[in-house]
Chain A
């Protein structure tokens, strides 16, 4: 895996998006040598936040230029506060918050991409904002 994906990333001129193995522990310096942006998806509950805070120093150690966290499935102000508190305390840079969105499960049930199911779904709109921020960062 490592050699393969590394070579693909290294050789393409296209904008490349890699859906990685679940954990940063599985990544090697080699795999991510040509990755310029790593997004770590976290959820607003303690074990997920803990996992993310363990991943971020590992990711930094891999020498990736930009490492950002994304808070996903955020349901309400309490969720947001939990993420903010934890991330502030642990120095985690959250670049985007994606709201919990029924459209994602509905799209999955329908067997279609969520952008095709509802291009204006709240989660999709939040991801448009994220895309713009990644481009600008």
Chain B
């Protein structure tokens, strides 16, 4: 299941995202939490420790690589398995949650 949560600033979307993540994780799911907000604070809402949060950095654009598809368009693909990405850049939040911090990658033609 892939769930995106959206809402105006101050609507409580981060608290809802974090709490849902914790609930699903407590119920036995292995949860990946992605902070896609330009003003990120999902980690705090998840209850990640200060030590973990201090390690949290935006994913570098180097984990993406441009690939030409059959129809001639280029697409950004992960340049390494997601397990490596999670191990290297992810930080731990309670209940076994992995938290990644998305970052802005501006490249024309994508999306």
A residues touching B (Cβ–Cβ < 8 Å)? 1-9, 11-12, 14-24, 27-32, 34-43, 48, 51-52, 55, 59, 64, 70, 72-73, 98, 104, 111-116, 123-124, 127-128, 130-131, 134-135
Asked if B46 contacts A113 (CB within 8 A), the reply is: yes
User: CB of B38 within 8 A of chain A?
Assistant: yes
Interface residues of B in 52-111 (CB under 8 A from A): 59, 61, 63-64, 76-78, 81-82, 85-86, 94, 98, 100, 102-105, 107, 110-111
Contacts A14-B30, A17-B20, A17-B34 given; does A22 touch B6 at CB 8 Å: yes
Query: Which of A9, A23, A52, A104 has its CB near the most chain B CB atoms (within 10 A)?
Result: A9
Q: How far is the CA of A55 from the CA of B11 in the complex (A)?
A: 14
User: What is the minimal beta-carbon distance from A89 to any residue of chain B, in angstroms?
Assistant: 20
Where chain B touches its partner, the secondary structure class is mixed
B residues touching A (Cβ–Cβ < 8 Å)? 1-9, 11-24, 26-27, 29-38, 40, 42, 44-47, 59, 61, 63-64, 76-78, 81-82, 85-86, 94, 98, 100, 102-105, 107, 110-111
Asked if B2 contacts A34 (CB within 8 A), the reply is: yes
The residue in chain B whose Cβ has the minimal distance to the Cβ of A127 is: B19
12 contacts between A and B (CB under 8 A): A1-B36, A1-B104, A4-B105, A11-B78, A18-B102, A19-B40, A19-B42, A22-B7, A41-B6, A41-B13, A113-B18, A127-B19
A residues near B42, Cβ cutoff 8 Å: 19
Asked if B77 contacts A7 (CB within 8 A), the reply is: yes
Asked if B110 contacts A8 (CB within 8 A), the reply is: no
Asked if A4 contacts B16 (CB within 8 A), the reply is: no
